[in-house]
Amino acid sequence: KYEKLWLALSLVLILAFIATVTYGAVGAGVSMVADDEEPVNPDTLGDHPQFGEPGVEQVGENEYEAYVIAEQFEFTPDPIVVPEHSTVTFYVTSPDVIHGFGVVGTNANTMVIPGEVAKITVETDEPREFGIVCNEYCGAAHHAMEGKLVVV
Ligand code: CUA
């Protein structure tokens, strides 16, 4: 007779686990949103309106969008320069294999899958630098795949 209770309890635990995994914080706070973004064609990224020229654009008073490409074995742009005390949403994709996009020292971290767009929203605090690393094995120079996030 406790079966339903256990089932409900384990569902709650699973949801809590998912919430923990998909929500994190940098300095003031980084929230990771596992959202369904429009898929992109890895073969024609150069023609994509945003990924064709990856970079940071202002979309609101203190709001920015950063389009980033992760590929063997670098992040573009590098460094990614964003303003302090603002909300930055990263959109990251890959033209080749699966990579990671992790902001060192924070729990902002996502897998980057070719054809898909990973999205992470970060609240920046004071000016400082963060390392960016790839945390999915992606080939011979995986360990050297690094970038920089500079908050100015
Ligand atoms: Cu890219 Cu490991």
Atom of ligand 1 nearest to the CA of 142: 2
108-125 per-position pLDDT tens digit: 999 999 999 999 999 999
User: With pLDDT > 90 as the criterion, what percentage of the chain qualifies?
Assistant: 72
- Contact call for residues 56 and 44 (beta carbons, < 8 A): no
Interval between CA 138 and ligand 1 midpoint (Å): 4
d(CA 90, CA 65): 6
6-64 per-position pLDDT tens digit: 777 777 776 665 555 444 445 444 555 556 678 899 999 999 999 999 999 999 999 99
| Atom 1 of ligand 1: nearest residue by CA position | 99
- Contact call for residues 118 and 91 (beta carbons, < 8 A): yes
Kindly list the protein residues whose Cβ atom lies closer than 6 A to any atom of ligand 1.
73, 99, 134, 136-138, 142, 145
Interval between CA 126 and ligand 1 midpoint (Å): 28
Residue 94 has pLDDT above 70, yes or no: yes
- Contact call for residues 135 and 109 (beta carbons, < 8 A): yes
d(CA 48, CA 40): 8
CATH number of 25-151: 2.60.40.420
Interval between CA 134 and ligand 1 midpoint (Å): 4
Q: What is the ipTM of this complex?
A: 0.99
Atom of ligand 1 nearest to the CA of 99: 1
* Of 107, 109, 73, the residue nearest 92 (C-alpha): 109
Mean model confidence pLDDT for the chain: 87
Q: According to the model, what pLDDT value does residue 97 have?
A: 97
